[in-house]
Structure 1
Amino acid sequence: MDGAQVPERHELEAFLTLAEELHFGRTAERLRLSQARVSQTIRKLERRVGAPLFERTSRRVALTPLGARLRDDLRPLWEGVREAMARAQATARGVDGVLRVGFLGSGAGELTSAIMDTFTARHPGCEIVMRETHFADPLGPLRAGEVDMLITRLPVREPDLVVGPVVLSEPRVVAVPARHPFARRAAVSLEDLARDTVFGVTGPAPDYWWDFHVPRFTPGGRPIPRGQDVATFQELLALIAAGRGISPMAASVERYYARPDIAFVPLKDAPRTEVALVWRAAGVTARIRAFAQAARDAVTANGGPARF
């Protein structure tokens, strides 16, 4: 292309987004444009190129061979431009420095590294310091200023805190002693929990938060007995293994914390558990905004939150 034919920024963005989504509706939604505007932009780019970049039918959108080649040529250049702009903006806005991120359990699961890599590529002058938090006080370190933001389990319904992008969504299981009758079953229900004892929590975790993860009642209204209070996850696992009770938990626990004396049985009718970014509503910094944007972009590139 000569200088007069260099495409405009919005044309490149529309082309690369459509090349990824292969759907005009989703492309329009991501770009916050109308489908007609996206279609018009793509046609304008095709006129610049001099040939179709997409094959369109009533049922599908596909890249032409020329479109696929252009996508492959443009994508690294486009990412380079975005990262260069992000670095320049970081310098101007003060993103460089240290960002302290608290995480509960396995954090964002397999998406954690993608979020970190995206942020670090854009802001190499900002160091991320990770700190583990515990379910006895999942929000305390954030309120105390010990971390700048959290990767933590929902629900979080606090007026002084902001819930950002959801980064992980997964089903739940119930952890039981290896010799427990439930261990021989393919799945259990929330109603089954009333037949055993679960655990309370020691610490200032919000009641609504613990009650979501370890309910007090079954859907049918039967009380679920609560036994000993626990303060840490390892304490919880040790008590389950010792036969002191059972506990609902995220399905990923079986992957990251498997042990021979505990069985993990699918909890078939429990709502999914989600992980999101959370930060203080007051004092939002450029670092926090940049990390939240990196998380949103990583989720988008993944096709949605990580799923287990």
Structure 2
Amino acid sequence: MKVFIENIKNIQPSQLYISKTKLSQVEEYLDSIDIANMDPLPIKRIGKYTFFTDGHTRAFALMKRGIEEIKVHWDEDELDWLQYLICIDWCNKEGIKNITDLKSRVVDDEDYKKLWDARCDIMQERTLNDLDYYLDIRTVSKDNEKCNICELILKALPNWFGLEESIKEYINGVKDSTFFSVYVGEIPVGFMSIKEHNEFTSEIYVTGILEEFHRRGIGKRLIKAIEDMLIKENKIFLTVKTLSGSHPDEGYRRTREFYRSVGFYPLEEFSELWGEESPCLLMVKKL
């Protein structure tokens, strides 16, 4: 576990309230220890958000004492990050950007259970049984929004998009594409950019979904939205280029599995299109 120092105001809360009783207990605990030796607080970065995954009450108590530089570590536990992002969206909408914004939200136990615990219980059940309640797929028409979302997502996926020059090319290239983005609340978590080749065929130009949300059905939802649009336009084929199976990359093996799962078939391999070290596989789906 790598421990480092971060300014407390640079870390967003992922909850809306602080329990007055728990705060009192934490303050009593802090009085009894050397704060310099306190365990680091866990944080996580998803997209552009760096947030607490636990330890809100400890962070709040430290803030009350005027402590701004705190010890933290990256949370590597396998948690439901979609649920956390829902909480981040709630915080954004209620103006909770850092721990100081919780000053007016210290409540007694009964209110904490009603205002926070009960809300989270409902959310957790919905994410298990009705994920679409929290996901919204939209077409994006403004070029700056397309570019910003593309940059945000691709830079968060170094195992798939590790070349800065390629990322810049994609950011510029999405401007003249049909662009679908999937949101948790108002937070983009993935996108697909579509380019038209002719009256019969369109291509997935570039796509990305934040890794924390892979295998949640988000890609399939994007494909479905795009297919519905293309079928209305009387398109017959949808194609995509991806890294060939002759390359051992594990991430792209999963990418090819995804495309096969939604009806794409390998059509042709091009060994020199992207260079010999990155063999390209053309895949196609009949709509």
**TM-score bracket for the superposition, by shorter chain length:** under 0.3
Larger Rg: 1
TM value normalised by structure 1: 0.23
Higher RCO (CA 8 Å, separation ≥ 6 residues): 1
